[in-house]
Structure 1
Amino acid sequence: MEMAIATDLKDLIPHFKIGFIQYQDICVSESPQMVKGRLQLFQESLFFEFEDKKVTDFPGIQEWRQIFKKTGKDPNRYRHSAEALYRRVQKQNYLTPINSAIDLNNFFSLQYQIPIGAYDSNKLNGPISIRLGHEEEEYLGLNGRMNSLHRLILSADNESAFGSPFVDSEKTAVTEATKNAIQIVYLQPSLETEKAEKMTASLANMFTQIHGGTAEWKVSE
């Protein structure tokens, strides 16, 4: 499956980067104790950092807030998904396990302070474009609401938009029935390409250690 970043988005945000990982023949299940333990421990450790830090003091969180501003979205109203996770932890409303893929995705997002989307690729009709949403675009999100996508960064296949660093759609959600998937990693534009590649490879390797199968990855900018 091919993926491309729209030219106008690259022009608007210099050094915009996406890590794109494709998985085949994976087995999604209840998270192993190792994943549950890491996720819980990281959240507990992060909570204590809020004694002398605000959510916006974390550089990755702040950088993605600035990206939303550049695209014309108020980051106080449209909080990117990594910031939303951080604010949950700040309130000690810790994430509870869902399945191995989503739990690992959330762990990566918390660790690297960036939005990351995971999608069932059997529900997609490629190729995929990363672009800004049009005025009338919307979808039913995992937040249970219809979400306007106007001026939001989004992922779309040949049929419609399915993901965003704000909230993903219901139609491509990863479940225990998922056998093939993709991850879209919304890397920090300030991250050097070599470090971005190492991070993306690390995500892919850990994902296949848990889920089996194979992974192909690349960083596009």
Structure 2
Amino acid sequence: MKLHIDENLFQRMPDLKLGIIHYTKITVSESPQMLKGRLQLFQEQLYFELDTKPFNDFPGIKEWRETWKAFGADPNRYRPSVEALYRRIKKQNFLPTVHTAVDLNTFFSLQYEIPAGIYDLAKTVGDIQLTLGEEEDGYEGLNGRFNSLRNILQLKDEYSPFGSPFVDSIRTAVTEETKDALHVLFIRPSMGRDEALQLTTACGNMFTSISGGEASCYVVDREDASLLLNSVDPFKL
């Protein structure tokens, strides 16, 4: 399976990059108390920080709002997922635990101030591309409604779009039956490649320490805009 970034995107955002983690043989289950407690504590601390700190003072949120605008989307109407999470927490509407995969994905997004998505690879079809949504692109999302992806970055396989830094689709949602998964970290464009790989590897390490299995970590950017997920990888954990 090939994953690549549409080269047209680099014309608007030359430093656009993804952190990619390919998980195999994982076990998705109810989160251990350690993870539940850590996620709850992080949200409580963030709640008090948000009481006096504007959203735009968080570098990740600010940068992803700017990225939204660079591609022609309105961040006030369709918010990057990380900002949506922060706004929930500001209202003290803390995120409930689901299972290890979703809870870790949420934790990484909050901690690093980036959108992130995790997808069941058994539910994808063929190659995967990061591209820009057009008028007809959209899907039924995890938020319970149909979501238009016009001018929003989207992950698209050979069947249809299935993920984005806005909201993910129901079609490729990870469940407790998932064994192989694709974790996509929408890295801040300003972050260097080496730092992006360190961040991605740290996430992969934490994920496999809780869910088992193996993880292979990559950074996809303008220098190397495509990868084969089944290729031998020097950053395998």
TM-score (normalised: structure 1) = 0.98
Identical aligned residues as a percent: 53
Distance 1:132 1:31 in 2: 34
Instruction: Give the letter for the 2:14 counterpart.
Output: P
Residue 3 of structure 1 and its aligned partner are, at CA, apart by: 1.1
What is the one-letter code of the residue matched to 1:84?
A: A
CA distance in 2, matches of 1:15, 1:70: 12
Aligned to 1:189: 189
Aligned twin of 2:230: none
Q: Secondary structure at the match of 1:22?
A: strand
Query: Is the partner of 2:10 in helix, strand or coil?
Result: helix
* Contact preservation (8 Å) 2:51, 2:90: no
1:122 aligns with 2:122: yes
Matched with 2:81 is 81
2:153 maps to amino acid? I
Match of 2:232 in 1: none
1:151 corresponds to which letter in structure 2?
A: N
Which amino acid is the alignment partner of residue 12 of structure 1?
R
**One-letter identity of the residue aligned with 2:64:** W
Q: Deviations over 1:57-84 (max 9, x none)?
A: 1010010011111111110101011000
Residues 79-128 of structure 1: per-residue CA shift (max 9 Å, x gap): 01100000011111111111111001000000000000000000011311
Equivalent residue runs for 1:13-32 within 5 Å? 13-32=13-32
Question: Secondary structure of the equivalent of 1:30?
Answer: coil
SS class of match (2:53): coil
Question: Is the 2:20–2:183 contact (alpha carbons within 8 Å) kept by the matching residues of 1?
Answer: yes
- Counterpart of 2:200, as a letter, is T
SS at 2:8 equivalent: helix
1:157 equivalent in structure 2: 157
Structure 2 stretches lacking a partner, 5+ long: 222-237
Paired with 1:179 and 1:220, the residues of 2 have a C-alpha distance of 23
Cross-structure match for 2:45: 45
- Once residues 51 and 168 of structure 2 are traced to their aligned partners in structure 1, the CA distance between those partners, rounded to angstroms, is 31
Aligned residue type for 1:220: V
What is the RMSD of the two structures over their aligned residues, measured on CA atoms? 0.8
- Tell me the distance in 1 between the aligned counterparts of 2:51 and 2:211: 36
* Structure 2 Cα separation of the partners of residues 58 and 2 of structure 1: 34
**How much has 1:51 moved relative to structure 2?**
2.6
Instruction: Summarize the alignment of residues 96-107 of structure 1 with structure 2, pairs less than 5 Å apart.
Output: 96-107=96-107
Instruction: Work out the number of aligned pairs and report it.
Output: 221
CA contact (8 A) 2:64 2:80 kept: yes
Pairing of 1:58-73 with structure 2 (within 5 A): 58-73=58-73
Q: Distance in 1 between matches of 2:193 and 2:202?
A: 14
What's the counterpart of residue 217 of structure 2? 217
| 1: CA distance, partners of 2:54 / 2:166 | 20
Task: Work out the CA distance in 2 between the residues paired with 1:38 and 1:46.
Answer: 12
Instruction: Give the Cα separation in 1 of the matches to 2:8 and 2:36.
Output: 40
Q: Which is worse superposed, 1-10 or 74-83?
A: 1-10
**Deviation (angstroms), 1:137:** 1.3
Give the distance between the partners of 2:9 and 2:155, measured in 1 at CA. Answer: 12
Report the Cα offset of residue 134 of structure 1: 1.6
TM-score by length of 2: 0.92
Q: CA deviation at 1:55?
A: 1.6
